[in-house]
Amino acid sequence: MSKLVAPHGGKGLVCCKLEGAELDAEKKKAEGLKKIEISSQVKGDLIMMGIGGFSPLDGFMTKSDWKGVCEDFLLADGTFWPVPVMLDAAKADADAINEGDEIALERNGEVYATMKVAEKFAMTEDDKKWECEKVYKGHGEESADDKFWEIALEDHPGVKMVMARKEFCLAGPVKVLSEGEFPEKFKGVYLTPKETRAIFDERGWADVASMQLRNPMHRSHEYLCKIAIEVCDGVLIHSLIGNLKPGDIPADVRIKCIDTLVKGYFDERNVVQGGYPLDMRYAGPREALLHATFRQNYGVNRMIIGRDHAGVGDFYTLFEAQEIFDKIPAPAEPGKALLCTPLKIDWTFYCFKCDGMASMRTCPHKKEDRVILSGTKLRKALSEGSEIPDHFGREEVLDILREYYSTLTEKVEIKMQSAASGENM
């Protein structure tokens, strides 16, 4: 019997992807249905519903789900959930759809799912602003009441995505027909919750930590993973392989970096590398909760949360993503509460005087003795061709990144937040 944490929601893995004859029949039916063009984010959400990564979700949220998630971190049935999962539709499409209709959801000519429309509701500008203030606004300098809307519409990618949603939302259960390009493009790295659970069970793991990655793996990430391995059975290094914002480093480059680092500096028996098909939402602390929620479905019971997890600019304070775990509701009904707990680790860095990796909890030395490590700082230096400080990353990894940046003809300006620069240390 598996020793792993149960999937979120108390219903086991809820997998909405059809197989075999059912899949063939639904694909044929989809040809005759009204088609809605979906965003890249919706595509990723559908695939996660298909493979059970978003258990217990079996479709897109109703207005009461949306309101409950934004306001209280709870779906309408009382299950914990931290961020809205919405299907938006233009007014012209929504006007042609009635509740009870079946529709097909496609992107760039490929049908990813069918859906039975249970609810259709308007999403006004005020609704979207309210969601942004509830979900994306933090306690950092740029989230101050007199600054947030002045800055967020230009500089917060998550807010920009919400405000760009179309005028209506459609809710209802889905039948997923495709996992897109991920199984082939990221063969061996793209893993479903069933697959990671089977790997963990085979290794006899019960206590599993996960490292979230959307940046190349530097020395701080390496150190965090090694701390987790010391106190857990093993670690899942779990990379986002969906879409990122301009200036972020593509998944195939990041995976190559992780491969190199794991092979050279880890005991591979204690590490699993995987990828998941979502786009970043850039929701800061709320996204940290989402990372823990769907990692529970992958068999993970501890989520590594360090400094500025999933942060954007200076919208969030340094450890807001850790603190939010202490403020969420704990539904009494079995299975509805979040069971994946945070592994909270302080700001980590290389210290010349300590002659090794350290944290604010262990190092007594001054800022001048420390190499401040952050993915943003690394991307900025590489993009500008600046020298990378000693002990920032492993040379084998930096060589891969330098090669990637040498091929770019257009470079995106990387905004340096105070957290990444070390100003607040």
The pLDDT value recorded for residue 387 is 81
The pLDDT value recorded for residue 37 is 97
Name the residue type at position 273. Q
What is the helix (H) or strand (E) element at residue 303, kind and residue range?
A: strand 302-305
Q: Model confidence over 272-323: pLDDT tens digits?
A: 999 999 999 999 999 999 999 999 999 999 999 998 888 898 999 999 999 9
Q: How far is CA 411 from CA 377, 378, 406, in A?
A: 15, 14, 10
CATH class of 20-123+165-178: alpha beta
The pLDDT value recorded for residue 413 is 55
Q: Model confidence over 187-201: pLDDT tens digits?
A: 999 999 999 999 999
Q: How far is CA 360 from CA 251, 304, 366, 380, in A?
A: 31, 17, 10, 24
The pLDDT value recorded for residue 418 is 58
Q: Are strands 119-122 and 168-176 parallel, antiparallel or unpaired?
A: antiparallel
Q: Kindly report which listed range (103-112, 174-183, 332-341, 376-385) carries the lowest average pLDDT score.
A: 376-385
- pLDDT greater than 80 at residue 376: no
Q: Is 388 helix (H, G, I), strand (E, B) or coil?
A: coil
The pLDDT value recorded for residue 93 is 97
Distance CA 403, CA 252 (A): 13
Biggest alpha carbon–alpha carbon distance for the chain:
69
Q: Which residue in the list 215, 270, 297, 301 is annotated as catalytic?
A: 215
Let me know if 214 is a catalytic residue: yes
- Architecture of the domain whose range is 187-421: 3-Layer(aba) Sandwich (3.40)
Q: Model confidence over 4-17: pLDDT tens digits?
A: 999 999 999 999 99
For the record, the structure tokens of 253 come out as: 């480059």
Q: Which of 223, 289, 279 is nearest to 251 (CA)?
A: 279
Distance CA 320, CA 260 (A): 32
What Rg, from alpha-carbon coordinates, does the chain have?
21
Distance CA 77, CA 35 (A): 29
Let me know if 269 is a catalytic residue: no
- pLDDT greater than 60 at residue 385: yes
Residues 223/306, Cβ–Cβ less than 8 Å: no
Return the domain boundaries, the chain. 20-123+165-178, 187-421
Q: Which residue in the list 107, 108, 203, 214 is annotated as catalytic?
A: 214
Q: Which residue is associated with the tokens 């401040």?
A: 372
Distance CA 290, CA 287 (A): 5
Name the residue type at position 9. G
- The residue with greater pLDDT, 184 or 411, is 184
- pLDDT greater than 60 at residue 417: no
The pLDDT value recorded for residue 425 is 56
